[in-house]
Amino acid sequence: MTRKNIMSSKIIIITTLALLLVGFSVLFIVEARNHNFDYKKDWVAVYFENPRDNSLDFTIENHQGGKATYGYKIFIDEAKTIESEIEIEKGAKQKISPALDKNKLNGTEKITIVVSNKDAEYKIYKNIQ
C-alpha cells in the first residue's frame, strides 16, 4: 500500500467516526426531549386518588404553559354542592379533598367533578354506595 492509500483510509475512518458521534448526539438530544412530558406539550390530568374507595379526593396536574387557575364544581346527582378555584404552578399537581356533608349522601349517588380552565372542561365520575 502506498502512503496515499493509507492516508485516505484514515480519513474515511475518522470521518465515519465523527459522523457517528454527531448522529448519536442528535438522537440523544431528541430522545431526551421526547421523554420530557412538558417539552412543547400542554396537557392537564384530573383523576381520583383512589377510585375504589368512597373518598372524593382528586388531583389536578398542570402541564400547561405556566401557572393556571382551575375552577372545579362537585355535583351530587346533578345538584351542585361545591364550587371553588385553585391555582397550580406548571409541572405541579394539587390534591383536593372536598368536605361533603354526609347528610347529602343518602344512598347510591353519582358524583361528578367538573374541572375547567379557559375553554377546556374535564369531567370525572364516581358512584358512591
Give the sheet arrangement for strand 68-76, strand by strand.
79-88, 68-76, 109-117, 120-128
Rounded to two decimals, what is the model's pTM? 0.68
**16 secondary structure, DSSP code:** H
User: In this structure, what C-alpha cell is assigned to residue 12?
Assistant: 474515511
At 40 the pLDDT is 67
Domain 43-128 fold: Immunoglobulin-like (2.60.40)
pLDDT in tens, 4-49: 777 788 889 999 999 999 999 999 988 887 776 666 678 889 999 8
pLDDT in tens, 58-113: 999 998 878 899 999 998 888 888 899 999 998 899 999 988 766 666 666 788 99
Domain positions in the chain: 1-35, 43-128
At 104 the pLDDT is 65
